[in-house]
Amino acid sequence: MIDLFSGLDAWVLVSLLLALAFVLAFEFINGFHDTANAVATVIYTKAMPPHLAVFFSGVFNFLGVLLGGVGVAYAIVHLLPVELLINVNTGHGLAMVFSLLAAAITWNLGTWYFGIPASSSHTLIGSILGVGLANALINDIPLADGVNWQKAVDIGASLVFSPMAGFLVAALVLMGLKWWRPLSKMHKTPDQRRKVDDKKHPPFWNRLVLVISAMAVSFVHGSNDGQKGIGLIMLVLIGIVPAQFVLDLGSTTYQIERTRDATVHLNQFYQRNHETLGEFLALGKSVKDDLPGKFRCNPQQTEPTINALVDTLKGVSDYHSLNADQRIEVRRYLLCLDDTAKKVGKLPGLDPREKSDLDKLRKDLTATTEYAPFWVILAVAMALGMGTMVGWKRVVLTIGEKIGKQGMTYAQGMSAQITTASMIGLANIFSLPVSTTHVLSSGVAGTMVANKSGLQSGTVKTILMAWVLTLPATVGLSAGLFWLASTALGN
């Protein structure tokens, strides 16, 4: 890893280390900000002592990051339009990274300080959107093109509907438990258990389910939220030291050949569907500026882009054999081809099987650009895991006692945690970022309603207010910081 940073100017190296520290600080804060949500029920119900719950939660968060892949990481990265991702230079990368991280960290710390279960996912997404919109204003790009709105809509839908689904599913699970075992001791609160049964801990089986489901929530939290940190670090590395990280320099000869073959097959795909796609892609026609520019991708430049990429990769068995400019060009070609292929897939007239083939080609195209070195994954896993082991007390009380008018029962805790783990695990399969905070909080609220415990309007309003304000606040803050940073750097 050290040799990747050799030969850098001192100021670039310092900036890079500072940016990496910012990302890891964000993940550390994310750890103690969201840990309370993962262990709140297991601590509140006294299924585990706080120190053990937090320790094992940290371990499972760590494992979740290590084993979670990078699908969610690049879902976050691709919130930014492809034009912003192909514009790689050190000053621009610094402005982008520090702006969005400063905004995200500020909001996370503020909501944590006041004990509000706000979402780190919302915070990060709002910060990225702010940078994209500010970049559009600075470079006279239409706001409609300043953000990858389709990806933003997909992610926004997952963030909006997952709490609603959490509320409903957790309520239904609790109702099922009440129907199945209406007289069970799992329907007692910890206070009732202590006063009536003179027992401190939940019944054995309830305790086991609470512990297992809490660790499952921690694992899926790590695999989902940890990937956001991985995506941020890749933005840092590509933005500040592009020559070393725009492509996976560890790619094997087979992987490079697979990328080149995918490019050839993509050209064959377009020629095969010439009648449907010819006008959109300007197939067989000469267009101004044959290749994608530094800041723009144009579907009508697809054919020359394919030809340039195939020529550049001809005979290449190791990305190290390409010079820095060639690596940046290859990445730009690949991202532009993928962006165009994504647009093509949404056009009417294509056979569903052809669209399926196109999706497979897109995966092969981006295989050597959508990656993360193991040391990046390990660093994020450690930051999230260690952050998990501190700062949990402020939010546990909110989850356990201040959402409902009565304390949480063991059955409610199990229902909320099982629902949260299942829903986030499902989101991981589809590479969608979701909020552990909101899914669990809404799940607890759903069980309170199903249990006829009532809701504390003050707490619910505070959580909803944080949910509503997070996006506009972080969008505005990161946009303002990016504007100031870009002005100062002359970008």
R_g of the chain computed on alpha carbons: 24
Rounded Cα distance between 80 and 232, Å, is 12
CA angle, 354 then 355 then 357, to 5°: 65
> Tell me, what's the pLDDT at 293?
55
Exposed/middle/buried for residue 113 (C-beta within 10 Å: 0-12, 13-18, 19+): exposed
> Tell me, what's the pLDDT at 152?
80
Taking CA atoms, 164 is separated from 21, 70, 123, 410, in Å, by 35, 26, 19, 22
> Tell me, what's the pLDDT at 117?
60
Tokens of 14: 């310092």
CA angle, 480 then 481 then 486, to 5°: 100
CB distance 68 to 428 below 8 Å: yes
Domain layout of the chain by residue ranges? 2-244+374-489, 253-366
> Tell me, what's the pLDDT at 26?
82
> Tell me, what's the pLDDT at 310?
94
Q: Rounded to two decimals, what is the model's pTM? A: 0.83
Residue 137: CB atoms within 10 A of its CB come to: 13
Rounded Cα distance between 296 and 145, Å, is 11
- List the pLDDT tens digit at each of the 491 positions of the chain: 566 566 667 777 888 888 888 889 888 887 776 666 777 778 878 888 877 888 888 889 899 999 888 888 888 788 777 766 766 556 666 777 788 888 988 887 887 777 666 677 788 888 988 988 888 888 777 777 777 777 788 877 887 888 889 999 999 999 999 999 888 889 888 888 888 888 888 999 999 999 999 999 999 988 888 888 898 888 888 877 888 888 999 999 999 999 999 999 999 999 999 888 888 888 887 666 656 555 567 888 899 999 999 999 999 999 999 998 899 889 989 998 998 998 898 888 888 888 899 999 999 999 999 999 999 999 999 998 888 777 556 555 555 444 545 678 899 989 999 999 999 999 888 888 888 877 888 888 888 888 877 666 666 677 677 777 888 889 999 999 988 887 776 65
DSSP state of 301: G
Can you list the alpha helix ranges (DSSP code H) found in 324-373? 324-344, 352-365
> Tell me, what's the pLDDT at 350?
84
CB distance 72 to 432 below 8 Å: yes
Alpha-carbon dihedral angle through residues 181, 187, 188, 193, given to the nearest 10 degrees: 40
